[in-house]
Amino acid sequence: MTTKPAHILVWDGAIRLVHWLLVLLVPLLWWTAEEGHMDWHKSLGLTMFGLVLFRLIWGLIGTWTARFAPMIRRIGSLGSYVGQLRRKAHRASFGHSPLAVLSVFALLGALTIQVTTGLFSVDVDGLESGPLAVLVSFETGRQFADIHELNFNLLAALIALHVAAITFYHFVLKEKLVRPMITGRRSRVDFSDAQLPETRLRVLPMLSAALVSFACVMAISNFG
Q: What CA–CA distance (Å, rounded) separates 92 from 85? A: 11
Task: Decide: is 56 part of the binding site for ligand HEM (CB under 6 A).
Answer: no
Kindly tell me the burial class for residue 27, based on how many C-beta atoms sit within 10 Å of its own C-beta (0-12, 13-18, 19 or more): exposed
Q: Which of residues 167-186 bind ligand HEM (CB under 6 A)?
A: 177-178, 181
Which of 56, 102, 128, 202 binds ligand HEM (CB under 6 A)? It is 128
CB of 90 to ligand HEM, least distance (A): 12
Number of CB atoms found within 10 A of residue 179's CB? 10
Q: What CA–CA distance (Å, rounded) separates 119 from 134? A: 10
Task: Decide: is 14 part of the binding site for ligand HEM (CB under 6 A).
Answer: no
Amino acid making up residue 29 = L
| Residue environment code for 123-137, b if the CB has 16+ CB neighbours within 10 A, otherwise e | beeeebbbbbbeebe
Is the separation of the CB atoms in 63 and 198 below 8 Å? yes
Task: Decide: is 166 part of the binding site for ligand HEM (CB under 6 A).
Answer: yes
Q: Phi and psi dihedrals of 31, rounded to 5?
A: -65, -45
Interacting span for ligand HEM (CB under 6 A) from 44-52, 81-89, 190-198, 208-216 = 44-52
Q: Which of residues 57-86 bind ligand HEM (CB under 6 A)?
A: 66
Task: Decide: is 149 part of the binding site for ligand HEM (CB under 6 A).
Answer: yes
CB of 210 to ligand HEM, least distance (A): 15
Could you list the residues that contact ligand HEM (CB under 6 A)?
15, 19, 22-23, 26, 29-30, 33, 41-42, 45-46, 48-49, 55, 66, 96-97, 100, 104, 107-108, 111, 114-115, 118-119, 121, 123, 128-131, 145, 148-149, 152, 159, 162-163, 166, 177-178, 181
